[in-house]
Amino acid sequence: MKSIRLICFTLLFLFSATGFNSTVYAQEHVDIEAYRDDAEKIINAAMKDNQKFEYLTQFADRFGHRFSGSESLENSIDWIVNEMKKDGFDRVFTQDVKVPYWVRGEESATLMSPRKKNLPMLGLGGSVATPEEGIEAEVLVVSSFEDLKEKADQAEGKIVLYDVPFTTYGQTVQYRLRGAVEAAKVGAVASLIRSVGPYSMQTPHTGTSRYEDGVKKIPHAAITLEDAAMIHRMSDRGETIRILLEMDAKTLPNATSRNIIAEMKGSENPEEIVVFGGHIDSWDVGQGVMDDAGGCFAAWEALRIMKELGLRPKRTIRVVMWTNEENGLRGGNAYRDMVMGNGSLENHILAMESDGGVFEPKGFGFSGSDEAFAMIKEIGKLLEPIGSNNITRGGGGADIGPIMREGVPGMGLVVDGSRYFWYHHTAADTIDKLSAEEYNKCIATMAVMAYVAADAEKTLPR
């Protein structure tokens, strides 16, 4: 996920929150007592065994990572669509989406001086290649963009290394996003960052980065926390650091990917839609199961449970697996364009996303009107049995961001995120980092919320 977007939403909506005297409204419009039995059935169905986790595991093992443009992503989409058709949902379809197609290629970084050492690394998404012989240059270590400004006159012809320890994702990711541009502006020939994460076992993290028109595109990569800190210490001791960076990355013409959409039609107001899901693409390392096959599959399993239990809500429920969240957000934008184009945006009454890893769920962060918030809080009470009943202000998700900006109330599943950034965009984002019990709770949480919001007497107000 791109948490920076979440943070923007959080700030936006925190400052626009206006008061909470709407509990009466909520109670009038969602009679949660009427849903206690259904909620219990859903929770029991979600929690009953490890089969759903085994299913996710098989998917992760079978396809591995699913990067935009890759065969693996499209094969995994084919497989999911086929399985969803077997599920017998009312409607399963895909939406073509043009996505960027960046290919990492061979790459390496080697500390050449003061001593030779291989530096585990990952090129950052969108980076240009080095010349074939690589770039070997002296390294200028900086602690921040301000520090770079102060040392600007030393940067010419050097590789800039941003050694910036993790604080929050929103802050630290700036060096991944803007590092190459700022380094190029002062004459650097390449830029490296300390990987964006709070903990490392020589673990490089990839992720997207940006260039700017009119600023030279220089290669941009991440090394590990350990090595960035070591090189920084060496530099502080007055040693001359030289690194050889070799990257073979290239950007190919846009590829075609797809959003996946599965629906259960509403029994009374089928034109009104509750949409929820995650993103099916991942970075090109690990299994991309925490980020975010887990979120996609949790939504899918939630819909399956409703179908199995014969719970058809008044309004339509739509599971969407968006494509290309990681390096383009083209799936989320294309979905917005589609629902704006066919006039159904106004009928999207709620959007939910799970993109923080399917760890122990805590509840939801909601962005919308006070009345809607009160109603969601009321529904949240049904989640007390599994402890995911904490509904707070502010939240959303990258993929639902485009429709939220058009006025759709939105919310993000909130989970125990204590290790999320250990694995985020690394080879260690693998199924073993998740657990069946926590995953099942996420499924139950999404299912209860989606079902009751879609079935409540009154439509969730904007």
Establish if 233 lies at the interface with its own copies (CB under 8 A): yes
Q: How far apart are CA 241 and CA 231, in angstroms?
A: 7
Which of 3, 10, 57, 191 touches its own copies (CB under 8 A)? 57
- Position 61 contacts its own copies (CB under 8 A): yes
Of 358, 130, 329, whose CA–CA distance to 243 is shortest?
Answer: 130
Q: Is there binding between residue 230 and its own copies (CB under 8 A)?
A: yes
Instruction: Using CB under 8 A, pick the residue from 1, 9, 64, 357 that binds its own copies.
Output: 64
- In sequence order, what are the residues at sequence separation of 6 or more whose Cβ sits closer than 8 angstroms to the Cβ of residue 64? 72, 286, 287, 288
Q: How far is the CB of 206 from its own copies (least distance, A)?
A: 13
Q: Does 112 contact its own copies by CB under 8 A?
A: no
Q: By CB under 8 A, is residue 202 in contact with its own copies?
A: yes
How many beta carbons lie within 10 A of that of residue 133, not counting itself?
8
Among 426, 440, 445, 459, binds its own copies (CB under 8 A): 426
Number of residues that bind its own copies (CB under 8 A): 30
Site string for its own copies, 264-293 (x = CB under 8 A): ----------------------x-------
Output 342-347 pairs: Cβ under 8 A, ≥24 positions apart.
Answer: 344/271, 344/273, 345/403, 345/406, 345/407, 345/408, 347/271, 347/272, 347/273
150 by DSSP, 3-state: which?
A: helix
DSSP helix/strand/coil, 317: strand
Q: Rule CB under 8 A: which of 173-192 touch its own copies?
A: none
Q: What is the enclosing helix (H) or strand (E) of 147?
A: helix 145-150
Of 33, 201, 252, 407, the one binding its own copies (CB under 8 A) is 201
Residue 427 as a binder of its own copies (CB under 8 A): the answer is yes
Tokens describing residue 243: 């690194």
Binder among 164, 225, 375, 415 for its own copies (CB under 8 A): 225
Q: How far apart are CA 331 and CA 104, in angstroms?
A: 21
Span interacting with its own copies, options 176-184, 224-232, 246-254, 258-266, rule CB under 8 A: 224-232
Which of the following is catalytic: 107, 246, 301, 325? Answer: 325
Contacts with its own copies, 331-360, as mask; x by CB under 8 A: ------------------------------
E strands along 124-176, which residues? 135-142, 159-162
Q: Which is nearer to its own copies, 174 or 430 (CB)?
A: 430
58: phi then psi, degrees, rounded to nearest 5? -60, -40
Q: Does 16 bind its own copies (CB under 8 A)?
A: no
Closest by Cα among 247, 222, 297 to 66? 297
* Known catalytic membership, residue 156: no
User: What is the nearest approach in angstroms of its own copies to the Cβ of residue 257?
Assistant: 19
Contact predicate 30/379, CB 8 Å? yes
Catalytic site positions: 325
Q: Which residues bind its own copies (CB under 8 A)?
A: 57-58, 61-64, 114-115, 117, 120, 200-203, 225-226, 229-230, 233-234, 237, 286, 422-423, 426-428, 430-432
